[in-house]
Homo-oligomer: A and B are copies of this chain.
Amino acid sequence: MNIGEAAEATGVTAKMIRHYEQIGLIKAAGRTGAGYRVYGPNDLSTLSFIRRSRDLGFSIAQIRDLLALWQDRARASSEVKRIASDHIAEMRAKMRLLEDMVGTLEHLSANCHGDARPDCPILQQLATGNAETSCC
């Protein structure tokens, strides 16, 4: 199986497959006489594993660890769970940041009439750090 087929089968682009090989996330693929990379069922499983992990937002470093655990039959599931929990915590932290920013900005936006007039509490806040809101 060539890289293009592997890419189509797993949803990982050929570009990224080469990249993952280069950074050592996956082992170097076999080659044909002409230098084409060749992939078998095991490789496809690994690539699909990586793609699902990326879909869940895991970083390459985390995926590296998850792959190692996956291939270790004596692994403890607590290790996996810890990585997942850490990742959940990171994502929650990002969500909180976004929530705060959205909250502030919505508040400002709600007080902006948004018409042709130039005065604007959003710019006011950005300029002075202190919005003259009429609401509270």
A residues apposed to B, CB below 8 Å = 45, 48-49, 52-53, 55-57, 66, 69-70, 73-78, 80-82, 84-85, 87-88, 91-92, 94-95, 97-99, 101-102, 104-106, 108-109, 112-120, 122-123, 125-127, 129
Query: How far does the alpha carbon of A5 sit from the alpha carbon of B1 in the complex, in Å?
Result: 60
Which B residues touch A76, using CB under 8 A?
A: 115-118
Which B residues touch A87, using CB under 8 A?
A: 105
Which B residues touch A116, using CB under 8 A?
A: 76-78
Query: How far does the alpha carbon of A84 sit from the alpha carbon of B131 in the complex, in Å?
Result: 15
CB closest chain-B residue, reference A114: B81
Query: How far does the alpha carbon of A12 sit from the alpha carbon of B122 in the complex, in Å?
Result: 20
